[in-house]
Structure 1
């Protein structure tokens, strides 16, 4: 989906989080690309976690650590590199452009602000939202 079309759909309320995300696909992507550091349950217990200079966070507590609201913008921006994290070496993950796809989707923050991202990232966000405690 082209950015202009995605923005138009978002403005019309036709492209929200539910329509744009697939948590099952996100789980598969998370398993393939994120488990080494974040662990299979997203608790920061992956086999690489112990050798990283920065502690790997428990991703199941993102909502709890953000006043009860899932931090969509922060999660998306950490994954796509807009908010770089030293442990990720800049863009995260080190998979280069894997998460950059032609199709962009619109997610919404808790405050209703649209966030444009690729479908794979939107799917990972859906998975992470589904594992919040």
Structure 2
């Protein structure tokens, strides 16, 4: 009986623990979903008040020949776009820039030290592709 309890107890406890959400989805919900919508389709509650419709983030790969454009996405969320989109409404994510730096390859073969939380948002966006 005791042996059975020892084997069953960890399983019972595991069922009581809620699976944590990936950090990227939490940051997306906090910083991005108001404009881009919970599913990233560009239909957030704040989208109606914007002069330019937010991008449908679920179609990034489809618009890029089936490949997720990680470097371009990172440039957009990090705010480095070479001045090509000075009219953009994207906010700055200063809080997210304070996270640890990790090597990130956006698909161009170059590993760049990048704030972890931005990498997590990019990975979340990759998971939303249809």
Would you call these one fold, judging by a TM-score over 0.5? yes
- Offset of 1:99 from its aligned partner? 1.6
- Offset of 1:107 from its aligned partner? 1.5
Contact 1:27 1:127 in 2 (8 A): yes
Please identify runs of 4+ aligned residues in structure 1 that moved more than 3 A. Answer: none
Partner of 1:53: 51
Tell me: CA distance 1:131–1:102, structure 2 relative to 1, closer, same or farther (3 Å): closer
Report how many residues are paired: 107
Q: Mean Cα displacement is larger for which, 77-86 or 34-43?
A: 77-86
- Offset of 1:42 from its aligned partner? 0.4
RMSD: 1.7
Contact 2:71 2:108 in 1 (8 A): no
Listed as ranges, the matches of 1:1-133 within 5 Å are 24-83=22-81, 85=85, 86-88=87-89, 92-95=90-93, 97-133=94-130
Contact 2:35 2:43 in 1 (8 A): yes
Contact 1:44 1:57 in 2 (8 A): yes
Q: Which has the larger radius of gyration?
A: 2
Structure 2 unmatched runs, 5+: 1-20
- Offset of 1:100 from its aligned partner? 1.0
